[in-house]
Structure 1
Amino acid sequence: MKHISSPNNAVIRHVEQLQRKSKARKKEGLFIIEGQREILLATRGKFIMEQILVCGPILLDTSTFTAQDVYSKLEIHQSPEIISVTQEVYEKMAYRSGTEGCIAFAKARSQQLNDLELTDTPLILIAESTEKPGNLGALLRTADAAKVDAVIIANPTADLFNPNVIRSSVGCLFTIPTAVCSTKELIGFLSDKNIDLYAATLQSSERYDRIDYRNASAIAVGTEATGLSEEMRAAAKANIIIPMSGEIDSMNVSVSAAIMIFEAKRQRDFK
């Protein structure tokens, strides 16, 4: 088993490059997963790990271990290369504190609309032009909690494999079918599939809880600053709004999405 004790090793520099640079992730088709829970969820989601860097004293409470020990601990049924690193090296490359001593190189996967396998009456969450990785991660976490059929990211400004997306989604990036596209492509896709689009917006809107979501439905949320595009609003079957009684007229996008998505799930539970 390869062992790394120098923080200047090329493998460690590669980890740091993939953590920092979206361009590098896209060019190589690789991204970094940090943490036992996240790697476990990615494995269950059939993402392929190429290498896993392990700090034995943190992950396994021992500095002596085999690759099989790591596979068993992380419930991995693949055979990625296992590389041992010292605690000093691990702490230097770890993106966040409190992780469990494991960092993986994983292969990115196709995220085309046509890759989605949908039911006849899917419930889809759409996020248009979400800028903040933390918000995108929180939306994925909401989607997992509600067990929607898919999440579609339209006109993305945040890289889906940004470490902050993975962290804030607590690994839910790997649990929900996800696609990335332009708003124009999305609208065409929804039309072809006979999926009703509901746009969360302040303009000419109906109360979100007075809409019937029991048919094939997609709920779209935009940025907190500017909301949804005119193109998205124009394509919607209805614009929807959450009535608010306070001084402000908006909420965090993931909170808004959760309220609307769980109303749709409530209706479907009584279908």
Structure 2
Amino acid sequence: MIKEISSLQNELIKDIIHLQEKSRARKQKGLFVIEGKREIALALEGGYQIKQLLFCEEIIDQSKIELLAYSKKSLAPEIIKVSTKVYERLAHRKTTEGVIAVAVSKSLLLSDLKFTVNPLVLVAEASEKPGNIGALLRTADAAHIDAVIIANPKTDLYNPNIIRSSVGCVFTNQIAFGSTSEILDLLKKYGIRVFSAALSPQSVAYHNIDYTKPTAFVVGTEATGLDEPWLANATENIIIPMQGKIDSLNVSVSAAILIFEAKRQRKFE
């Protein structure tokens, strides 16, 4: 028998709303919320455990939910039918697909990362805006790089706005969090060269560098750029030459230019 929930006062519904709204709740419980069939499917492909699948029968057929629930050989989630009123309270997207999941968080430790022989890595320092983080993750997925590392994070990865803006690429990339010193130690351990994007007269134009060997691009916030340790420990500080009136690009655009230059040099391997 599939459980049904029609009341907004149901304890599970209250818990889900809390998970959506509070980073502390997500960290304490080790759970987070995913909205949308595509995003849930990507999470399952990425090895995430789904605890509950809530669906609104007025929007999506139960048969499609069951196909999604059992698409991977993992622990079968609890399937729960919710009323339109409950679903509308939980859903954040206008073009909704009628399904929401409660999933188990991953550890996101630097020690969990696995690199290829010739890795290409993106490091984003102190990223705070969910939209920027989501865009960076989409770029990383499109280029199929080895890992995205968030240095000195100011938000948690499972913020619903990050999941939404990344269109599920939170689940398709290897991702880890760490401090500047921890990440620098890791990159040194694996012999990965560091190229820090910096608005400096001493920075080298990005297209004059060879990225065919192990490479990490480091990007900072548009407001403050990168902290000194990244500049001091870089193999080279690099810059994207500007030909207009402004001196910088959105961080996700900058990262995309750098990453795809490296992919071009590597013949998109």
TM category (shorter chain) comes to over 0.9
State the 1:120 CA deviation: 1.4
Label 1:218 to 1:16 Cα distance change in 2 as closer, same or farther (>3 A): same
**2:238 is matched with which residue?**
240
Deviations 1:235-254 (A, max 9, x none): 11001110111111111110
Superposition pairs for residues 211-226 of structure 1, below 5 Å? 211-226=209-224
**1:265 is matched with which residue?**
263
In structure 2, the gaps of 5 or more residues are none
Off by >4 Å, runs of 4+ in structure 1: none
Q: TM-score, normalised by structure 2?
A: 0.96
Secondary structure at the residue paired with 1:174? coil
Moved more, 74-83 or 2-11: 74-83
State the 1:88 CA deviation: 1.4
**Contact kept? 1:36, 1:99, Cα under 8 Å:** no
State the 1:162 CA deviation: 0.2
Moved more, 74-83 or 23-32: 74-83
**2:123 is matched with which residue?**
126
Label 1:57 to 1:270 Cα distance change in 2 as closer, same or farther (>3 A): closer
Superposition pairs for residues 1-271 of structure 1, below 5 Å? 1-60=2-61, 65=62, 69-73=64-68, 76-77=71-72, 78=74, 79-203=76-200, 204-269=202-267
Label 1:209 to 1:96 Cα distance change in 2 as closer, same or farther (>3 A): same
CA distance in 2, matches of 1:246, 1:152: 31
**Contact kept? 1:59, 1:100, Cα under 8 Å:** yes
Secondary structure at the residue paired with 1:58? coil
CA distance in 1, matches of 2:71, 2:150: 29
CA RMSD of the aligned region, Å? 1.3
In structure 1, the gaps of 5 or more residues are none
**Contact kept? 2:119, 2:214, Cα under 8 Å:** yes
Paired amino acid for 1:187: L
Q: How many residues align?
A: 265
Identity of aligned pairs, percent?
Answer: 54
